[in-house]
Amino acid sequence: MTDSTTPAADSTSIESLLHENRHFPPSPEFAANAIAKPGIYDTAAADRLGFWANRSRELLTWRTPFAETLDWSGAPVARWFADGTLNVAENCLDRHVAAGNGDRVAIHWEGEPGDTRTLSYAELTTEVKKAANALAALGVGKGDRVAIYLPMIPEAAIAMLACARLGAIHSVVFGGFSAESLRARIDDAQAKLVITADGGWRKGKVFPLKPTVDSALAGFENAAEYDGPAETVEHVLVVQRGENEVAWHEGRDLWWHEAVGGASEEHEPEAFEAETPLFILYTSGTTGKPKGILHTSGGYLTQAAFTHRNVFDLHPETDVYWCTADIGWITGHSYVVYGPLANGATQVMYEGTPDTPHPGRWWELIQKYGVSIFYTAPTAIRSFMKAGREIPQGFDLSSIRVLGTVGEPINPEAWIWYHDVIGGGTAPIVDTWWQTETGAIMVSPLPGITDLKPGSAQKALPGISLAVLAEDGEPLARGAGGLLSITEPWPSMLRGIWGDMDRYVETYWSKFPNGVPGSQAGGPAYFAGDGARTDEDGDLWLLGRVDDVMNVSGHRLSTAEIESALVAHPSVAEAAVVGASDETTGQAVVAFVILKSRFADEMAVDAPDLLRAHVGQQIGAIARPRDVFIVAELPKTRSGKIMRRLLRDVAEGRDIGDTTTLADTTVMDIIADKMKAAPAED
Ligand code: WT7
């Protein structure tokens, strides 16, 4: 599993980061109107549970008020606000209409071809009520799982909220995942309904979704064991978007515009207990099988709403907010759907890619809608930097007042560019650290309060307790690098891994079983899987994953998952995958492959392209390796473990350090020679 606990970033880059000494204090004007007031940290520290209880009461509408804030007696499974009841969809919709804000725009949607839709809170509420009625008519009810495989169209949010309204559990699968990945997720969750579209627009073309669902549900004849048709799925609900031709399975398939279009606009939301599961979202871990991260209702919505309001300084009456994340990732769940809608925000939602039909499309949308809060990933910022500042400078971005980043560390150079070119030199940047598992932002500056430091995610939010720990769980002094740990339960924490509670305990809670001294809740501390270090001011610097998980363009990929996809190919004998640092994407997938001897000669030339395509087809385009190197040997320890650190060194062109633990020290020379001889890849 883990070959070393050394953080992925190399020590020279850490040193140069820590010498970053530019500071950006908040302007007095910003601070005067900021949502978060400086006293917030002390208030939360004085009474952490009371702080969260008050935030929950203030930000959400409870049907039955809760009396108990946290029950940690079943650690590591927390129960937050457990004796309260609420309806998540009602909190995101109906109550805003009831408060007189029905005419406020909830979503300014822009399709990639330039078609648009505007949905007010009243209209969105009606659409969700109709969808809830249609889903209920298909037999979807409390606790049922619904797989959602859609492009970035309003129906994605509507489908999620319709599930929430019924107490059903959605499992959104990113539209870029393959039929195999989709099928694995449908089977693991035992979904009874799949909501998809015929296709969606991407890069000027329609990409098919329904055909992928069809092959996922039909099963795979080339699978190791033919897995037959999916057994749990009763219906497929299809939104018409791409207008591409689709096959139709009578009795199973239904058009959304017929089923939802014909449904009643009346729907009374039922109140559910706070710990009612809200969604499952799959993410990669250190093994080949993705983990279904389970989130529940009251605590999740509390922290999503609180962080969205305070971290982005949201003034819902005047701000126009835009988060560029796809609904298929946790950022799309918490900061496109649940956080913004719970807060009654007006937001932009965009279907396509940033450079279609022209490289300034995003900036054009900011200008068009007067976006004031903009949240995106460092990888996107770096690719815009490469394309040149003339492109954004061709648009009026003066409406921007807060910028955010998420997914990976932002290098100071990209931070400064973002600040100057997109933020007009004045907008504060919030670098937000969190994970699919944490559900909501955990570490970030607070605009108007924090003295910003480019490259650092800075502070645990009020109500969040973190520590940087040594391997043995000992808290480390400032300046020392170690493992990031969350030392008290938090409202939006995951409640488990779907169907595998042992893996939940093992992955997150077995590293620090005794927690840290002075913990109020007691019990184990959460192991995040990230390396981190605090500087002399107590600001946090994230140093990358410490396990075999890669971060490519802010998306999590597992080395083991890609390796198992590679070895599933008939020509592959062995494979090792590493994340090598990449200027634009943060990390890139690099694979080292040994071919079976009978294929070695005939395939050596074509294998890299063939295997890249194979991984794309097995997992999805995001997992396709940047480079595939065909090698004769892999570096292994005497006990047979692949030494990924060495492969990473080779993949990044570094000198190979100490190889004395290698079983066969000549292996690395062979690999290094091979790489020198390899033609440059795209
Ligand atoms: C991993 C979580 C949270 C939504 C997007 C990714 C890395 C995330 C930052 C940041 C440094 C970051 C961590 C984390 N990460 N945000 N601001 N600075 N690293 O969600 O797929 O669950 O991945 O992304 O390594 O563990 P995810």
CA distance 311 to 325: 17
CA distance 524 to 531: 18
pLDDT of the residue at 646: 87
Place of tokens 């890849």: 681
Please name which of 300, 302, 309, 311 lies closest in space to residue 458, comparing C-alpha atoms: 311
| Closest CA to ligand 1's atom 8 | 407
Task: Give the DSSP H or E segment for 53.
Answer: helix 48-59
Cβ atoms of residues 613 and 625 within 8 Å: no
Cβ atoms of residues 40 and 282 within 8 Å: no
CA distance 484 to 47: 23
Does residue 71 carry a pLDDT above 60? yes
Q: How many CB atoms neighbour CB 523 within 10 A?
A: 18
Mean pLDDT for all residues in the chain? 93
Atom of ligand 1 nearest to the CA of 443: 17
Distances (CA, A) of 577 to 607, 619, 652, 669: 16, 14, 13, 18
pLDDT of the residue at 178: 96
Tell me the mean pLDDT in the region 612-621.
Answer: 95
Band of residue 297 on the pLDDT scale cut at 50, 70, 90? very high
CATH superfamily name and code, 27-59+297-463: ANL, N-terminal domain (3.40.50.12780)
- Whether 409 lines ligand 1, by a CB cut-off of 6 Å, is yes
- Whether 330 lines ligand 1, by a CB cut-off of 6 Å, is yes
pLDDT of the residue at 17: 58
- Whether 668 lines ligand 1, by a CB cut-off of 6 Å, is no
**Residue among 13, 330, 542 to mutate when testing ligand 1 (max atoms within 8 A of CB):** 542
Is the dihedral angle over the CA atoms 650, 651, 653, 658 positive or is it negative?
negative
- Whether 445 lines ligand 1, by a CB cut-off of 6 Å, is no
Band of residue 664 on the pLDDT scale cut at 50, 70, 90? low
- Whether 285 lines ligand 1, by a CB cut-off of 6 Å, is no
CA distance 665 to 659: 6
- Whether 110 lines ligand 1, by a CB cut-off of 6 Å, is no
Instruction: Please tell me the distance between residue 587's alpha carbon and the centre of ligand 1 in angstroms.
Output: 13
| Closest CA to ligand 1's atom 21 | 556
**Better pLDDT: 11 or 633:** 633
Band of residue 226 on the pLDDT scale cut at 50, 70, 90? confident
- Whether 283 lines ligand 1, by a CB cut-off of 6 Å, is yes
| Closest CA to ligand 1's atom 1 | 435
**Residue among 441, 466, 551, 587 to mutate when testing ligand 1 (max atoms within 8 A of CB):** 551
pLDDT of the residue at 315: 98
Instruction: Please tell me the distance between residue 593's alpha carbon and the centre of ligand 1 in angstroms.
Output: 28
Cβ atoms of residues 70 and 49 within 8 Å: yes
Is the dihedral angle over the CA atoms 407, 409, 413, 419 positive or is it negative?
positive
Instruction: Please tell me the distance between residue 409's alpha carbon and the centre of ligand 1 in angstroms.
Output: 8
Buried b vs exposed e over 598-613: b needs ≥16 C-beta within 10 Å? ebeeebeeebbeebbe
Instruction: Please tell me the distance between residue 530's alpha carbon and the centre of ligand 1 in angstroms.
Output: 9
- Whether 587 lines ligand 1, by a CB cut-off of 6 Å, is no
Tell me the mean pLDDT in the region 323-351.
Answer: 98
What's the helix, strand, coil split of the chain in %, to 5?
30, 25, 45
- Whether 473 lines ligand 1, by a CB cut-off of 6 Å, is no
Cβ atoms of residues 419 and 393 within 8 Å: no
| Closest CA to ligand 1's atom 17 | 433
Q: Long-range contact list for 208-211, CB < 8 A, 24+ apart?
A: 208/242, 208/244, 208/246, 209/149, 209/150, 209/151, 209/175, 209/242, 210/236, 210/238, 210/244, 210/246, 210/247, 211/246, 211/247
Instruction: Please tell me the distance between residue 377's alpha carbon and the centre of ligand 1 in angstroms.
Output: 10
pLDDT of the residue at 526: 98
Please name which of 535, 529, 386, 374 lies closest in space to residue 455, comparing C-alpha atoms: 535
Instruction: Please tell me the distance between residue 635's alpha carbon and the centre of ligand 1 in angstroms.
Output: 29
Tell me the mean pLDDT in the region 625-643.
Answer: 87
**381 backbone dihedrals φ, ψ, rounded to 5°:** -60, -45
Task: Say if strands 253-255 and 540-545 run parallel, antiparallel, or are unpaired.
Answer: unpaired
| Closest CA to ligand 1's atom 2 | 435
Band of residue 339 on the pLDDT scale cut at 50, 70, 90? very high
Q: Which of 216-230, 232-246, 569-583 has the highest mean pLDDT?
A: 232-246
| Closest CA to ligand 1's atom 18 | 409
pLDDT of the residue at 287: 83
Cβ atoms of residues 85 and 274 within 8 Å: yes
CA atoms within a 13 Å half-sphere pointing along the CA-CB vector of 496: 15
- Whether 533 lines ligand 1, by a CB cut-off of 6 Å, is no
Does residue 203 carry a pLDDT above 70? yes
| Closest CA to ligand 1's atom 6 | 407
Atom of ligand 1 nearest to the CA of 556: 21
Band of residue 122 on the pLDDT scale cut at 50, 70, 90? very high
Atom of ligand 1 nearest to the CA of 432: 17
Does residue 154 carry a pLDDT above 90? yes
Tell me the mean pLDDT in the region 335-364.
Answer: 98
Atom of ligand 1 nearest to the CA of 410: 18
Atom of ligand 1 nearest to the CA of 441: 3
- Whether 411 lines ligand 1, by a CB cut-off of 6 Å, is no
Instruction: Please tell me the distance between residue 406's alpha carbon and the centre of ligand 1 in angstroms.
Output: 7
Tell me the mean pLDDT in the region 351-364.
Answer: 97
Buried b vs exposed e over 178-192: b needs ≥16 C-beta within 10 Å? bbbbbbbbbebbbbb
- Whether 407 lines ligand 1, by a CB cut-off of 6 Å, is yes
- Whether 558 lines ligand 1, by a CB cut-off of 6 Å, is no
